[in-house]
Amino acid sequence: MKIVLQELTKRYPNQNKKIKEDVVAVDHFTFEIPDGKLIGLLGPSGCGKSTTLNMICGLEKPTSGRIFFGEDDVTDLPPENRGVGMVFQSYALYPHLTVEQNIMFPLENFKGKDKLTREQMKERAKKAADLVQIGELLERRPKELSGGQQQRVAIARALVKEPRVLLLDEPLSNLDARLRLQTREEIRRIQRETGVTTVFVTHDQEEAMSISDWIIVMKQGVVQQIGWPQEVYDKPVNLFVASFLGTPPINVFRARAEGGKLYIGGAAVLDVPGVPDGDVTAAIRPEGFIPCEDGPLVCGRRAVETMGRDTSVVATHPDFVREEIRTIVPSGTRVDAYAPTVSFALRPEKTHLFDPETGERIPFGEETGHE
Amino acid sequence: MNKRALRPWLYLLPALLFLGVFLVYPLLDVLVYSVEEGYNSASQSYYGVGLYNYAYVLHDPYFLQAVKNTFIIVIITVPLSTGLALLISLGLHSIGRLRELFQTIFFLPYVTNTLAVGLVFMILFQKTPYSDGLVNVLLSVFGLSPVDFIEGPYWAKILVMCLYTVWIVLPFKILILTNALASVNEDYYRAARVDGTSKFRIFTKITLPMISPMLFYLVITGFIGAFKAYSDEVAIFGTDLNAAGMNTIVGYVYDMLYGDSGGFPSYAAAAALILFAIVMTITCINLLVSKRSVYHA
């Protein structure tokens, strides 16, 4: 089932009564989520991603805008008539009920012709439990389960009604690092197996990038960029998206463009054809640095950290906006551990230019048609 | 025993000492008193040991009246006050505005002196040569004949007594229950809403089980408190509760010790132990019931 969001907006009255102006949690969100895709809604806390999820779910009413599931306008429908399943961040498993009773809970609400017999309910619950591989835990209570198992029960409960849309609110934030890896693959598998259109909210960019078909990056209620994860990573539309995606984070420099060349600290570090002269913000991915002796970008060397698979060179530069530059170079690279400076050449595809005022992307090279 | 092992006992000593002197010893003493026949407090003598005191108390019409009154108060006020408190708490929980104002209003009886409240009830219910009392005035508006609630028929007195008891115990229960309701994670309700759970089902399947430990606590303490009722009765009917026919078990114990018919510590002790046995039994039953129906986190 595809989900269409049309100019979706949510305003709240300001908590501080002295301020008359409303808080805009979600601002004119328009997007079409294709059928059967896994979508990651990504952004820092307070960016409106949970509000968006709640509006899709029906727990919150949008101030304006419409929501469609397929061709149906569901904007004014209560959650139970939309056909959504929701997994809450806290899982919200009823602690006094067994796993089976928890999974059956949504089915027991069916009325009229949809009403199921006890056997049908048990069968459906068993099927949902098997799908998330907790078939043996049906008699347990939530507190007797690990975090990962509780998560699975919550997913089974959300799926037992066979919803058209599955919504997950920060599904991995309550799990430890190892379980997180495992669970996110599990979510991916369950989504593939059921083919249900799934939207999940996260503030963890790695989580979003790793399993989503599409990611939507939000900031202060406004959608910044929507795209295939690699595309968003490779071509961030603004500095916020560039900084939000990627670990270690992107390295941001104060720079200047002049005559088709990029200058950082007086040195021409890269050819940037097609960029008008003026101050720019240069953001370079950690893997965009190539250490070489005659490289144009000369930085103070701070440390070389060997990770095994690759090496991280930590450096400083007066025009760098934060404390330390973090670069990632292949482990075979020879870096003089005693020299006071280290020089880099830059990969153009890993270097992004932004307007220092607006933060908007400034295209250069191939993007603008220049070679 | 070495020093290290002694230390915890040293720390416990003050508490143990106090408990021993003021709780354990008196309890044992009560037991001793209750089996001493014909105990005379002036001469500190008695002429036998046995269950005579229990037999006397159990045949004393005043005691039987007190037991009857106490049971009526317990059976009516505990469920009524707990149920009412639950309703009011649910109401308080669901209103947004003015919640704090209403919470304060409902809590006022808790901080009001029992005797002052008794006075208010007198004004409401008592018939005097000058006035029929507010409630009777209201009754006459509906064409009903006035009733003397304080010195009139038994049912009227019990009615006032129960009303008074419910009113006085309500605030604490509301306080506990509003907090219990507030501590239920909002996500449970949201999850239930996503599944289209009816309000009634949310209440019976989620709210009630989640607050059941608190509810159970209120029922147990409610039973114990109601069985020990005494001061509330005095506040309305005065100190001569036997004459008013409104005595309670604790009132009977007090009368046997210090009342006009007092000076019988043995009877008082026997009555007190009978009360103890009743409360103990009821509490055990409560605990057994709770094992099956209360969800413990």
A154/A259 same-domain check: no
3-state secondary structure chain A: CCEEEEEEEEEECCCCCCCCCCEEEEEEEEEEECCCCEEEEECCCCCCHHHHHHHHHCCCCCCEEEEEECCEECCCCCHHHCCEEEECCCCCCCCCCCHHHHHHHHHHCCCHHHCCCHHHHHHHHHHHHHHCCCHHHCCCCHHHCCHHHHHHHHHHHHHCCCCCEEEEECCCCCCCHHHHHHHHHHHHHHHHHHCCEEEEEECCHHHHHHHCCEEEEEECCEEEEEECHHHHHHCCCEHHHHHHCCCCCCEEEEEEEECCEEEECCEEEEECCCCCCEEEEEEECHHHEEECCCCCEEEEEEEEEECCCEEEEEEECCCECCCCEEEEEECCCCCCCCCCEEEEEECHHHEEEECCCCCEEECCHHHHCCC
Q: Are residues A350 and A236 in the same domain?
A: no
pLDDT given for residue A306 in this prediction: 84
By DSSP bridging, strand A297-306 and strand A341-346 are antiparallel
Nearest-by-Cβ selection for A78 from B191, B192, B196: B196
Domain end point (choices A240, A258, A285): A240
Give pLDDT, residue A252: 92
Looking at the structure, tell me whether residues A218 and A264 fall in a common domain: no
Write down the pLDDT at residue B270. Answer: 93
pTM (two decimals): 0.80
Task: Give buried/exposed letters for A298-324 (b at 16+ CB in 10 A, else e).
Answer: bbebeebeeeeebbebbbebebbeeeb
Of the candidates A79, A94, A96, the beta carbon closest to that of B196 is on A79
The bridge status of strand A289-291 relative to strand A341-346 is antiparallel
Where among A219, A240, A261 does a domain terminate?
A240
Q: Do A193 and A73 reside in the same domain of the chain? A: yes
Q: Are residues A328 and A180 in the same domain?
A: no
- Is the separation of the CB atoms in A40 and A208 below 8 Å? yes
The pLDDT of residue B106: 85
According to the model, what pLDDT value does residue A268 have? 87
For the stretch B195-250, pLDDT in tens is 888 999 999 999 999 999 999 999 999 999 999 988 888 888 887 888 888 899 99
CATH number of the domain enclosing A24: 3.40.50.300
Pair A10, A136 in one domain: yes
Q: Is pLDDT at B173 greater than 90 in this prediction?
A: yes
What is the domain range of residue A150? 3-240
Q: Are residues A216 and A329 in the same domain?
A: no
Contacting A residues, span 35-64, partner chain B, CB-CB under 8 Å: 57-59
Residue in chain B closest to A143 (alpha carbons) equals B297
Residue B297 has pLDDT above 60, yes or no: no
Report which of A37, A75, A30, A3 is spatially closest to residue A198, judged by C-alpha positions: A37
Q: Is the dihedral of CA B255, B257, B261, B267 positive or negative?
A: positive
Return the residue in A54, A80, A81 with the most chain B beta carbons within 10 A, the one to mutate for interface testing. Answer: A80
Domain co-membership, A16 together with A68? yes
Token pair in block for residue A74: 């569901």
Q: Please, which residues 66-85 of chain A have a Cβ atom closer than 8 Å to chain B? A: 78-81, 84-85
* A193 plus A89 within the same structural domain: yes
Residues B92, B181: Cα–Cα separation, whole Å:
10
Q: In this predicted structure, what is the pLDDT of residue A341?
A: 87
pLDDT at B127: 76
Res. B87 pLDDT band, cuts 50 70 90 = very high
Kindly report the backbone phi and psi dihedral angles of residue B88, in degrees, each rounded to the nearest multiple of 5, phi listed first.
-65, -40
pLDDT in tens, chain A (371 residues): 889 998 899 988 877 777 777 888 888 888 888 999 999 999 888 888 989 999 999 999 999 999 999 888 999 999 988 989 999 988 999 999 999 999 999 999 888 778 888 899 999 999 999 988 888 999 999 999 988 899 999 999 999 988 999 999 988 888 888 888 888 888 899 999 999 999 999 888 888 888 899 999 999 888 999 999 999 999 999 999 999 998 889 999 999 998 888 998 888 888 888 888 999 999 999 999 988 888 888 888 888 888 888 888 888 888 888 888 899 988 777 777 678 888 898 999 999 999 999 999 998 877 776 65
Cα(B231)–Cα(B244) distance, rounded to whole angstroms? 14
Architecture of the domain whose range is B47-107+172-293: Orthogonal Bundle (1.10)
More confident residue, B24 or B50: B24
Residue B88 has a pLDDT of: 93
| B190 interfaces chain A, CB cutoff of 8 Å | yes
Same structural domain, A259 and A222: no
Beta carbons of B194 and A89 less than 8 Å apart: no
Total beta-carbon pairs less than 8 A apart between chain A and chain B: 58
Distance from CA of B213 to the nearest CA of A (A): 12
pLDDT of B117 above 90 = no
One domain for residues A30 and A128: yes
Pull the structure tokens for residue A190: 């369950």
**Quick one: pLDDT at residue B138?**
83
| pLDDT at residue number B59 | 93
Listed by start position, the domains of chain B span 47-107+172-293
Beta-carbon contacts of residue A63 (< 8 Å; ≥ 6 apart): A9, A10, A11
By DSSP bridging, strand A222-227 and strand A214-219 are antiparallel
Portion 143-162 of A in contact with B at CB < 8 A: 143, 157, 161
β-partners of residue A312 are: A305, A328
**Contact call for A85 and B194, based on CB within 8 A:** yes
Task: Give the CA radius of gyration of chain A.
Answer: 25
Q: Are residues A60 and A111 in the same domain?
A: yes
Kindly report which listed range (A221-230, B36-45, B78-87, B133-142) carries the lowest average pLDDT score: B36-45
Suggest the residue from B183, B186, B195 to mutate for an interface test with chain A (most A CBs closer than 10 A). B195
- The span from the CA of A76 to the CA of A96, in Å, is 33
CB nearest to B194's CB, from A59, A89, A143? A59
**What residues 109-128 of chain A have any CB closer than 8 A to a CB of chain B?**
109
Contacts of A59 in chain B (CB under 8 A): 190, 193-194
Average predicted confidence (pLDDT) for chain B: 87
Looking at the 3D structure of chain A, how many domains does it have? 2
Cα separation, A68 vs A100, in Å, equals 32
φ, ψ (nearest 5 deg) of residue B272: -60, -40
**Per-residue model confidence (pLDDT) at position B242:** 81
Contact criterion met (CB < 8 Å) for A80 and B195: yes
Residues B268 and B275: beta-carbon distance below 8 Å = no
Residues of A in contact with B291 (CB under 8 A): none
Spatial distance between the Cα atoms of A99 and B193, rounded to a whole number of angstroms? 19
By the 8 A CB rule, do A251 and A260 touch? no
Q: Taking residues B101-111, what's their average pLDDT?
A: 85
pLDDT at residue A235 in the model? 92
Q: Complex ipTM above 0.90?
A: no
